[in-house]
Homo-oligomer: A and B are copies of this chain.
Amino acid sequence: MLKITRKVEYALIALRHMQEKEKDELTNAKEIAEQYAMPVELLAKTLQHLAREKIVEAVQGPHGGYRIKKCLEDINMKDFFEKMEGPLGIMDCYFDSDCTLLPMCNIRTPIQRINESMRSMFENMSVGEITQ
């Protein structure tokens, strides 16, 4: 309950790893995967996802790799989570079709409040802050 996924974890670790390098220096998936004992393929996919989101830039071919593209201070964690995993809410009903599951639900309003608190907490936190 209330856990983040491996994909997000791998993404953050990779970003931090890249951030510790020179600007423009490339890092390939294998290097990161080895260093942090992650399954290469899954990390690769994660990096590809980050590239699609324009957070990192990919360079193909031998000696290729990834480098950070966007300023990480400018991305907040809520957006980051949503880019990586889709809508952020403690219950699915927060989004699609207003609580269809429990038609008589009596905790709708308070649940929305919790959702807002959580979202705004992550909104006030930048990715850069996490990866330093």
Contact = CB atoms under 8 A, between A and B. Distances in A.
The number of times this chain is found in the oligomer is: 2
B104 A35 contact: yes
Interface residues of A, number: 40
B110 A129 contact: yes
A102 B35 CA distance: 10
A9 interface: yes
Given A13-B106, A107-B12, A2 B88 contact: yes
Contacts of A129: 110
Given A13-B105, A102-B37, A4 B5 contact: no
List 9 A-B pairs, minimum CB-CB distance, nearest first.
A110-B130, A1-B85, A4-B90, A16-B106, A12-B107, A1-B5, A36-B104, A2-B2, A36-B102
Interface of A: 1-5, 8-9, 12-13, 16-17, 35-38, 77, 81, 85, 88-92, 102-107, 110-111, 114, 117-118, 121, 125, 129-132
